[in-house]
Structure 1
Amino acid sequence: MSYRILLLALISGMLFTTCSDMPEHYETYEDYPIYEGTDLGVRYQPERTEFRLWSPAVTAARVRIYEDALGGEALQTLPLERSDAGTWYAALEGDQAGRYYTFQVRSEGAWLEEKPDPYARVVGTNGQRGMIIDLDSTDPEGWQQDRRRVTVQPTDAIIYELHVRDLSIAGNSGIQHKGKFLGLTETGTTSPDGLSTGLDHIREMGVTHVHILPAFDFRSIDESDPARFRYNWGYDPQNYNVPEGTYSTDPKDGAVRIREFKQMVQAFHRAGIGVILDVVYNHTGDTDKSVFNQLVPGYYYRHWEDGRFSDASACGNETASERAMVRNYIIESVRYWAEEYHLDGFRFDLMGIHDIETMNAVSSALHIMDPSILVYGEGWTAGDSPLPYEDRALKRFTHRLDGVAAFSDNIRDGIKGHVFTPDDRGFASGKLGLKETIKFGIVASTDHPQIEYDSVLWLDEARAWAASPTQTMTYVSCHDNHTLWDRLLNSQPDATEAERIRMQKLAGTIVLTSQGISFLHAGMEMLRTKYGVENSFESPDSINQIDWARKAQYAEVVDYFKGLIQMRKDHPAFRMTSTEMVQEHLQFLETEGTNFIAYTISGNANGDPWSDILVLLNGDLSDQDFDLPAGDWTPVLTEAGYREAGEADAKAGSITIPASTALVLMR
């Protein structure tokens, strides 16, 4: 080759390199092109594997193929070519099953870190590399026949919130696969007292759904070294579309965690129990080094005008759900979990960080798939946000959401006291001045002519915030903050254990007889304690585990809650589906006590076999007398528990309701 030809070739190559290294120019993130396809990430076939990454503003992109989940040199580096609507594409011929991959992009003259793609569905150890597999190979036997639990109305749901590890990790759980997805599949397990544990206990309690704390791949636990295990709740997302490896028996093999998660879902479905996943799309566990920021710099996050990451999550960042490709990502992710894993619902962490339009789009996409899928979330943020206030999916705007429910902190704090004041008392522990707040919770945050909204505490404005009972999550405790039992120990330190047990039972009765969607914290029925630790997200198993010895120790309380759940399931009057129905059938009665509530649900409400129901809630620390409405009333729920109508003598005239106790009667 002549010198002139060589020089021209070099110049030509330089020109090519320079042109390919020029980024696409966009004035704002809103100018980025929108990719409408559904093939982002990795698509495997035995004859070839296709890779597609959406990252419009970078100058180059590539895929690296590895033999192992961690360490080792890349077997191959595959350049990606610019393709449609800001995507980069390549195909690798041959069967790549079992190999690992990373994506990498070039931005501002430098190659950023290698990461699995945001849409990764399979990863290896610690989620550092994606894995190429045939997803069909992860289906357990009988998976094609697995079906979601049919829930006719959202208010029919009775949800039991649990952490995968907590339920099985205790030495007295009788469960073999402790702390694993498989631990929740085991049947026939018992405590040393011979009482059912794990899945059998949940089925025995009669709840309709389990709500599982984050079980997607999160970053705070080292999957490669069990000896260095650090407990975490999982609210630090890393790879959203992949089950967490520490809950599997082999974190390295991405197929194992998927198969075992499916086995868990399948086991619950066989027991007649739906599975709800706690999802955390509002922030990522890392910011600069996250999958999103290393592959699509800046786009997935909100920023203040000076360029700083905004932080409404109080975790260092917040995602920008209002941007088209972020919204599409969230929708596609929940659809994937619902389709691939047959999930029955989703709980959105800090839902108020998301915009209303995105939450409605999520609800629409899921309910087209299956109208019974439950969608609910926390209608608040943990800090300020650049997202306009009126666009946020906050509790006060729940009536603008469609098919989405929000947690009621009104009834939660009304029952036990203000959540951020650990020694504050509530209605159930004898504090006065909370009757209207409890009444507001009883009608599930809806519009009712007998509620004095100016007297309801913890309302942004004096009005109902839910359009119907189906939009309110009625609860008193969850994984956050103290367990209810620990809260009662803090707020009523001088009370006897028997007195606190009555308060715990009263609190549970308010939850399970109120309208809305019932939500229970796992272990509440056995007076679960975390030994005074308020937020146990990093506490050891000794704090977080469910101690199955308490099931025998407090058997009477367990039976009481079991009866409460059964009564709610037996009687649709406690599960009304519209504001109009509640207004028509539920009436509060005049009472003398300062901390005493009485109301009736009349007219065979919602098709109930009982014509008239009378609910009496005595939050006072002393006994209360009450004149019954005319007629003969049969007690069906007393301090001793739930009894079918006809098993007790009918009452008329005046009755006495013991301190810190609920009574339900039927006519």
Structure 2
Amino acid sequence: MKQYNPTSQSEIKYDYNYLTTIINQISHDSVFVERNYYPGKLGAIYSKDKTEFKLWAPTASQVEILIYDGHYGVLKENIVMARSNDDKIFTHTIEGDNHGLTYRYRLIFFDGRVNTSNDPYARAVTVNGQRSVVVDLDRTNPDNWGERMPEMDDISKAVIYELHLRDFTVDSDSGVTHKGKFLGAIEENATNPNGSSTGIDYLKELGVTHVEFLPLFDYQTVDETVEKPREYNWGYDPQNYGAPEGSYSTNPYDPFTRIKEMKQMIQAFHDAGLRVIMDVVYNHVYEVDNHSFHLTVPGYFFRYNDVGQFTNGTGVGNDTASERYMMRKYIVDSVSYWAKEYHIDGFRFDLMGIHDTTTMNTVRKALDEIDPSILLFGEGWDLYTPLSENMVANHNNAVLMPRVGQFNDGLREALKGNDFEATARGFINGAWHMEQQVAQNVLAGVDFGSYNDPQQVIQYVEAHDNFTLYDKLRAADPNLDENTITKRHELATTIILLSQGIPFIHAGQEFLRTKNGIRDSYNKPDAINKLDWLRQDEYRESVELVKNLIKLRNQEPLFHLSTYEEIKERIEVTRADYQIVQLTYRGDGYKLFVTFNAQGNMLNVPVKKGEYIKKVNNRRVYLDDNNLTGEIDNVLIDSYTTLVLKKFD
């Protein structure tokens, strides 16, 4: 091995020649990987009478625990850890109740390098995630903290609402005291200046089943020491995977406040009947050189090309190597921890296509042991990776990962056009020859053969990244009247909510959210990203439409079938041309006739002569069966709207 002489005894930069040596000897050595796999618990394992410290660092020659005087004091003591008999981990036990003890690790390697690192398994951290803290998690539980929510009896009824925590309440019109915080998200009786509900009360009224939060773990690019952070970030820059983000707490200097307040938020959502999904980002880290992965076992946790450079399928400068045993173990341990300790109800994997199928199946198995109804899905994009094609966890291999969901960009792009082109058009705004693609995807790709069941298909037209649907429609037709833009927008959302699979709504989509034409707002200010709580009143009819569509979907089993066999048996595409898609649904003793009209004119829909019940017509939803048509043989519907008729046999 080449002798490496660091210029300082702290965090260091690695040159490519040295990395190549490390990679060849460690990362690509299957004997090393298998021999050094450690299946046991890692981290600071707390009990009231002692804390066991366990760190996986098989390539280090010595590891010390650095103990600090309080959370922010000077170094008080360093303790040399013992190497385990099998050379896999370093261990040390400190007697007594060590809740609050603040520590880091110093690792010395055989070539003389010295790295100082946080604990990769840290469950609590100091401000800005700089130090690890021992925590008695029982002391962080809110009052009446109980068990998980009961298993969801029918996953097909799930409706996901994607939300950035800060966006949710930071608007001055939110009526919330703790704006942008865990506690702000659960303040009850909050209203905007017009008296309309905001915050958690609004979500309860909307009727979604799951709220998916963008990353809540500790991320790096927002300064937690500033009371009102100047920075904004979505959170896709991981720092400490096992601790909540401090900028969302009322006191980021206290390592335990963020834990308790996140639990309080989850508890309140559960009490409101809302399940919580956590967006997780295991595919990359923010700064490799200063991340605990690379500082504790250099060269192991990341993928490299043949010349020792990080692979970049994620587009952010580094890719983690989920196929390696200890990276896979870390992901499984982390997800299991959040599910057990915080009662998380689902996980959305960012850039899941960079991971391998074995890892995702192992995650699914671990979650099933906790609660089989925990949702698991991700972005299965086809990304560059040196893994073989049949190993990657992308949409092409969805059938290899039962009950692991995938975002369906097929329906997204059929409805509104290419997401990367502002002026591209889709079914809802004038594109021709999209009808078959819409019909197939509304049925969750029933004939594509890519999925095991419809619940693997996440149906959406808008998400946190790329243009909001409103902004994209505006970019394509900047001079179009607002009423037509609104109808096109509502048509797309209606199709999503009436599609097979699991519908997904971006926060504010129901009131035509705009980000002033900004495509990716991950680091833009609150003025761009905040939820405008006055907009729900401006687009009240659209909000009510979404509320009632969710109710209709929930009460009508034909809109959320559980298997492809049922879809094939019960649904027929009767027309898909000339900007019209029509489907017939066969229930037990009744039929539904659905028409999506994307034409810019009124449409006369012929029907078999008889009496029908209107369920959706001209932007209104009827939840009972009292809206009878009388005997008819046709129905006139407006441009860019949906018609749903019901007829008993």
Per the normalisation by structure 1, the TM-score is 0.90
Aligned partner of 1:628: which letter?
V
Report the alpha carbon displacement of residue 630 of structure 1 after superposing the two structures with TM: 4.6
Partner of 1:266, secondary structure, is helix
Q: Equivalent residue for 2:19? A: none
Q: Distance in 2 between matches of 1:225 and 1:197?
A: 26
Partner of 1:649, secondary structure, is strand
Q: Equivalent residue for 2:8? A: none
Q: Equivalent residue for 2:89? A: 87
| 1:483-540 Cα deviation digits (max 9, x unpaired) | 1111111112232100011011100110011100010001111111111111000000
Higher mean alpha-carbon deviation, 503-512 vs 491-500, is at 491-500
Q: Distance in 2 between matches of 1:567 and 1:484?
A: 23
| 1:6-46 Cα deviation digits (max 9, x unpaired) | xxxxxxxxxxxxxxxxx9x7584432334444321101223
1:645 matches 2:629: no
- Change in Cα spacing, 1:136 to 1:29, as seen in structure 2 (3 Å) is farther
Q: Distance in 2 between matches of 1:86 and 1:651?
A: 78
- Change in Cα spacing, 1:503 to 1:348, as seen in structure 2 (3 Å) is same
In structure 1, stretches of 5+ residues that fail to align are: 1-22, 448-462, 605-609
Aligned partner of 2:142: which letter?
P
1:310 matches 2:294: no
1:573 matches 2:575: no
On the 8 A contact 2:239/2:291 being kept in 1, the answer is yes
Q: Equivalent residue for 1:657? A: 637
1:561 matches 2:546: yes
1:124 matches 2:126: yes
Q: Equivalent residue for 2:287? A: 286
On the 8 A contact 1:635/1:651 being kept in 2, the answer is no
| 1:241-276 Cα deviation digits (max 9, x unpaired) | 111110011112111111111011101101101000
Q: Equivalent residue for 1:398? A: 398
Q: Equivalent residue for 1:586? A: 571
Higher mean alpha-carbon deviation, 438-447 vs 268-277, is at 438-447
1:301 matches 2:291: no
| 1:444-499 Cα deviation digits (max 9, x unpaired) | 1222xxxxxxxxxxxxxxx3322221110001000011111111111122321000
Q: Equivalent residue for 1:8? A: none
Partner of 2:115, secondary structure, is coil
Q: Determine what percentage of the aligned residue pairs are the same residue.
A: 40
Report the alpha carbon displacement of residue 612 of structure 1 after superposing the two structures with TM: 1.0
On the 8 A contact 2:37/2:325 being kept in 1, the answer is no
| 1:349-395 Cα deviation digits (max 9, x unpaired) | 011101011111111110122111000000115x4211122210111
Partner of 1:589, secondary structure, is strand
1:344 matches 2:323: no
Aligned partner of 1:626: which letter?
V
Q: Distance in 2 between matches of 1:304 and 1:647?
A: 64
Q: Distance in 1 between matches of 2:26 and 2:282?
A: 25
Report the alpha carbon displacement of residue 333 of structure 1 after superposing the two structures with TM: 0.7
What pairs up with 1:239-250 in 2 under 5 angstroms? 239-250=240-251
On the 8 A contact 1:149/1:273 being kept in 2, the answer is no
- Change in Cα spacing, 1:196 to 1:469, as seen in structure 2 (3 Å) is same
Q: Equivalent residue for 1:152? A: 153
What pairs up with 1:213-292 in 2 under 5 angstroms? 213-226=214-227, 228-292=229-293
On the 8 A contact 1:35/1:87 being kept in 2, the answer is no
On the 8 A contact 1:123/1:129 being kept in 2, the answer is yes
Tell me which of 583, 589, 603 is aligned to 1:599: 583
Report the alpha carbon displacement of residue 110 of structure 1 after superposing the two structures with TM: 3.5
On the 8 A contact 1:155/1:518 being kept in 2, the answer is no
1:409 matches 2:409: yes
Q: Equivalent residue for 1:618? A: 597
What pairs up with 1:182-197 in 2 under 5 angstroms? 182-197=183-198
Partner of 1:390, secondary structure, is coil
On the 8 A contact 2:151/2:372 being kept in 1, the answer is no
1:98 matches 2:77: no
Q: Distance in 1 between matches of 2:150 and 2:37?
A: 34
Q: Distance in 2 between matches of 1:635 and 1:226?
A: 53
Deviant stretches of 4+, over 6 Å:
none
Q: Distance in 1 between matches of 2:229 and 2:208?
A: 35
Q: Equivalent residue for 1:546? A: 531
Partner of 1:500, secondary structure, is helix
- Change in Cα spacing, 1:249 to 1:332, as seen in structure 2 (3 Å) is same
On the 8 A contact 1:408/1:445 being kept in 2, the answer is no
Q: Distance in 1 between matches of 2:125 and 2:196?
A: 38
1:138 matches 2:140: yes
| 1:610-634 Cα deviation digits (max 9, x unpaired) | 7211110011112222211353221
**Alpha-carbon RMSD:** 1.7
Q: Distance in 2 between matches of 1:43 and 1:636?
A: 57
On the 8 A contact 1:155/1:470 being kept in 2, the answer is yes
Q: Equivalent residue for 1:112? A: 114
| 1:266-314 Cα deviation digits (max 9, x unpaired) | 0110110100000011111111221100011111111112111111111
On the 8 A contact 1:634/1:646 being kept in 2, the answer is yes
Report the alpha carbon displacement of residue 108 of structure 1 after superposing the two structures with TM: 4.6
Partner of 2:332, secondary structure, is helix
On the 8 A contact 1:585/1:602 being kept in 2, the answer is yes
On the 8 A contact 2:64/2:105 being kept in 1, the answer is yes
Per the normalisation by structure 2, the TM-score is 0.93
1:167 matches 2:168: yes
Q: Equivalent residue for 2:389? A: 389
Report the alpha carbon displacement of residue 221 of structure 1 after superposing the two structures with TM: 1.0
Q: Distance in 1 between matches of 2:393 and 2:296?
A: 28
Q: Equivalent residue for 2:6? A: none
On the 8 A contact 2:618/2:643 being kept in 1, the answer is yes
Partner of 1:664, secondary structure, is strand
On the 8 A contact 1:67/1:75 being kept in 2, the answer is yes
Aligned partner of 2:637: which letter?
I
Q: Distance in 2 between matches of 1:430 and 1:635?
A: 27
Higher mean alpha-carbon deviation, 281-290 vs 30-39, is at 30-39
Aligned partner of 2:159: which letter?
I
On the 8 A contact 1:106/1:112 being kept in 2, the answer is yes
Q: Equivalent residue for 2:511? A: 526
Q: Equivalent residue for 1:45? A: 47
1:464 matches 2:444: no
- Change in Cα spacing, 1:436 to 1:79, as seen in structure 2 (3 Å) is same
1:629 matches 2:608: yes
Higher mean alpha-carbon deviation, 133-142 vs 220-229, is at 220-229
Q: Distance in 2 between matches of 1:35 and 1:330?
A: 14
Q: Distance in 2 between matches of 1:536 and 1:122?
A: 29
On the 8 A contact 1:35/1:85 being kept in 2, the answer is no
Which has a greater percent of strand?
2
Report the alpha carbon displacement of residue 228 of structure 1 after superposing the two structures with TM: 5.0
Higher mean alpha-carbon deviation, 427-436 vs 160-169, is at 427-436
Report the alpha carbon displacement of residue 111 of structure 1 after superposing the two structures with TM: 4.5
Q: Distance in 1 between matches of 2:609 and 2:333?
A: 57
On the 8 A contact 2:443/2:500 being kept in 1, the answer is yes
Q: Distance in 2 between matches of 1:208 and 1:637?
A: 22
Partner of 2:183, secondary structure, is helix
**Matched residue count:** 621
On the 8 A contact 2:140/2:259 being kept in 1, the answer is yes
On the 8 A contact 2:314/2:354 being kept in 1, the answer is yes
Higher mean alpha-carbon deviation, 483-492 vs 156-165, is at 483-492
